[in-house]
């Protein structure tokens, strides 16, 4: 079986109610964990840019309860597969997006090839001051090629209440997903 690329994004939230709004400067504000990630993944998917053989979109559940959905997806993966987890991040950055928990040299090369020209910061570890646990921790139990694609949020703890994200970051995350899919599907997979 050929290696596959999985875009994994938890689609559940820990909030009982949700209020989203646009700010006067074009940002989005609200309980964005993980509406921002789901939006970016769906924007890429519905654009038609990620419907390729060997690429899966997994909208998971249970992120707030032991990563149940990611554990279910993990059972379907082989060590040769690649996973990109999409979620919000609290990393302070001027870049549009972050790539975190990307410590495998092959995965780093894949990210650099895919995202050339985009505004991003690449980190070996997890510099997020709000949370350092996510689905990457589940996938890394079996796979080396795992990374976290972060949509930067500011204005507080994204697990506790409303935060802000730049609209530009949401679009950049969608473009990054599409570019990773194109790079993976175009025969430039890392070995």
The domain of 51 spans 5-185
Taking the C-alpha atoms of residue 138 and residue 167, their distance in angstroms, rounded to an integer, is 29
* Residue 191 in domain: no
Query: How many residues belong to the chain?
Result: 191
**Token digits for 69?**
């959905």
Report the number of secondary-structure helices (H) and strands (E) in the chain. Answer: 5, 9
Residue with tokens 């996510």: 134
Dihedral over alpha carbons 147, 131, 134, 107 (to 10 degrees): 10
* Residue 60 in domain: yes
Domain at 68, CATH number: 3.40.630.10
* Residue 104 in domain: yes
* Residue 144 in domain: yes
* Residue 190 in domain: no
pLDDT of 65 strictly over 90: no
pLDDT tens column, 119-128? 999 999 999 9
Confidence of residue 152 (pLDDT cuts 50, 70, 90): very high
Confidence of residue 191 (pLDDT cuts 50, 70, 90): very low
pLDDT for res 189:
38
């Amino acid at each position: 079986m050929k290696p596959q690329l999985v875009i994994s994004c938890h689609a559940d939230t820990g909030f009982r109610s949700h209020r989203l709004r646009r700010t006067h400067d074009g940002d989005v504000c609200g309980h964005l964990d993980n509406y921002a990630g789901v939006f970016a993944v769906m924007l890429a998917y519905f654009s038609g840019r990620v419907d390729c053989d060997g690429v899966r979109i997994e909208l998971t559940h249970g992120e707030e309860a032991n990563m149940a959905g990611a554990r279910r997806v993990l059972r379907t993966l082989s060590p040769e597969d690649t996973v990109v987890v999409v979620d919000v991040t609290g990393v302070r950055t001027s870049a549009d997006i972050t790539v975190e928990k990307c410590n495998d040299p092959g995965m780093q090369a894949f990210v650099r090839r895919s995202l050339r020209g985009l505004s991003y910061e690449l980190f070996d570890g997890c510099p997020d001051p709000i949370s350092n646990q996510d689905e990457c921790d589940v996938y890394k139990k079996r796979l080396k090629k795992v990374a976290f694609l972060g949509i930067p949020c500011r204005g507080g703890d994204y697990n506790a209440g409303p935060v802000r994200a730049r609209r530009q970051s949401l679009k950049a995350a969608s473009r990054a997903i599409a570019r990773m899919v194109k790079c993976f599907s175009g025969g430039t997979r890392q070995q």
